[in-house]
Amino acid sequence: MKALMSLGALIGVAGLLLLGGMIFDIVPSTTIRLVEGYMPMQLLFEVGCYVIGFAGLSYILNAMGMAIPRFWQGIGFWVFFLMYLKYRVYPPIPFSVRAMYGTVSLVAVFMWVSANEEDWQKFKQPIMNVLDAQTGMNKLLRYAYLFLLPILIGGFSYNAMMPKSEEPIELRTVHPAPPASTKVHGKTYTLQTSQNPYRVNTEGKYDQEYTNANIVEQGMGRLMKPNANPWDEKNQGYLKYVREGGEIFFQNCHFCHGDNLNGRGLHAFAFNPIPANFTDPGTIAQLQETFIFWRVAKGGIGLPNEGFPWASVMPPWEQHLTVDEIWKVILFEYWHTGYYPRTWD
């Protein structure tokens, strides 16, 4: 048990040193890389390691007779977590999300330190000591709080009320609800029921499962399925259409959406927000093919009211591409990213 706790303590100390280095800019945040494809779990795993590490550290210090008071354990962990979110995670997390996480972690710390009466008494003892002010130091602290707290609250109020020249925050609706149907090149398409005419098997029949089996495998590096190479000119059916869609993509779309379809094309950073990242599981992976068809055909100016603040510069591609070309380019986007279009069956 002691050995395990010692190991935990070691992890805790190492983690703290690393984070300290990141805070003071001695160590870059990317020292331990967030690995693409594993980032969300890596983050949770790291925080889990810290928790175990701190438990070990607390145990060892306790055994050495140098126990950290519960009050400082609670405050310390909360501050650590805020620092972790601010300095460890990259790219930077918007303040609104850090505020949410900060509040949850504060509640969690409160739940931990007050889960039983003994711990709660330990936690609030320093506060009670200052309030009771039985010693000179505590008296001094109490007077200090008497002055500092109103100043602090006043400062917050001033900061909150002071007119600012910053750009306002935006509640952008990235995927507004589509219309029931859309008219492209004179033909009406019902979005709930229409299908990509090129998602076909070798016999030319619409076949979702066949095409799903031939997409790029997800994961690190995104691997092409064996015997499913669309650049092989002998291929017919689905893979042939993927190739044709790819050609259209690289002639028209990749300047903004990037050659890896991650929204980082040549012109991407001229825009804010940058173009959609198709490799993100929150974009095309969440949507029906017909939704993409509508968005590609109508572009940014075709966004409905719900799409406020309409922050999209995508041209209405129906003015440049045929219906067939739009369907093919969508086929390519799904093939390349390894995602499956949403279906409702």
Partner 1 sequence: MGLLTGKRVFSVVALCMMVGLLLLPIVVALPSPAIGEEAPAVGDQAKKDGDKVEKGRDVYYKTEGIVVGAPAPKTTDGPKDYPRYNFESRVLIWFANQQHLYYGSFVLAVPIFCMIIEFMGVVTKDKALAKRYDQLAYDFIKISLTAYSLTAILGGILIFTFLTLYPAFFSYLSGIFRPVMHIYALMFVAESGTLYIYYYGWDKMKEGFLKWIHLSMSVVLNVIGTLLMFLANSWIGFMMSPAGVDEQGRYLGNIWHVIHTALWNPLNLHRILGNMAFGGGVVAAYAAYKFLASKTDEDRAHYDWMGYIAMALGVAFLIPLPFAGYWLMREVYAYRQQMGITLMGGLLAWLFIIQATMIGILFLSTNYYLWQAMGRMRGAEKYQRYIKYLVFLLACGYMVFITPHTMVMSPAELKAMGGQQHPVLGNYGVMSAKNGGINVIITTTVLSFVWYMRGNKVSTVSWAKFGNIFMGVFFACAYINIIWLAIYGYYIPANVRVGLSVPQVATTLSCLFFMFALNSVMMRGAKQMGPIEWGKISARSQYALIMLATAFTWMMGLMGYIRSSVRLFWHVNEIMRDNSPWAYTHTVGFAANMISANVLFFWISILFVFWLGSLTAKKVPVESKAGIPGSVPQPAASH
Give the integer Cα–Cα distance in Å for 284 and 292.
7
Q: Which of 98, 89, 92 is nearest to 39 (CA)?
A: 89
Residues in a beta bridge with 212:
none
| CB of 143 vs partner 1, minimal distance in Å | 30
148 vs 177 by CB, closer to partner 1: 177
CB closer to partner 1, 276 vs 321: 276
- Asked if residue 333 lies in contact with residue 258, where contact means CB atoms within 8 angstroms, the answer is no
Q: How far is the CB of 302 from partner 1 (least distance, A)?
A: 15
Whichever of 257 and 325 has its CB closer to partner 1, that residue is 257
- Quote the least distance from Cβ 70 to partner 1, whole Å: 11
For residues 34 and 83, which CB has a smaller minimum distance to partner 1 in the complex? Answer: 34
| Cβ nearer to partner 1, comparing 107 with 140 | 107
Minimum Å gap between C-beta 39 and partner 1 is 4
Strands 187-190 and 181-184: antiparallel
Q: How far apart are CA 138 and CA 142, in angstroms?
A: 6
Calpha distance 128→345 (Å, rounded)? 61
Minimum CB distance to partner 1, residue 192 (Å) = 5
CB of 169 vs partner 1, minimal distance in Å: 5
Least Å distance, CB 148 to partner 1, is 27
Contact criterion met (CB below 8 Å) for 324 and 196: no
For partner 1, give the closer residue by CB, 235 or 277: 277
Nearer to partner 1 by C-beta: 32 or 47?
A: 47
- Amino acid, single-letter form, for residue 206: Y
Alpha-carbon gap, residue 33 to 55, rounded angstroms: 25
Taking CA atoms, 204 is separated from 87, 215, 231, 294, 320, in Å, by: 53, 17, 19, 24, 27
Residue 182, CB half-sphere, CA atoms under 13 Å: how many? 24
| Dist CA 82 CA 54 (whole Å) | 16
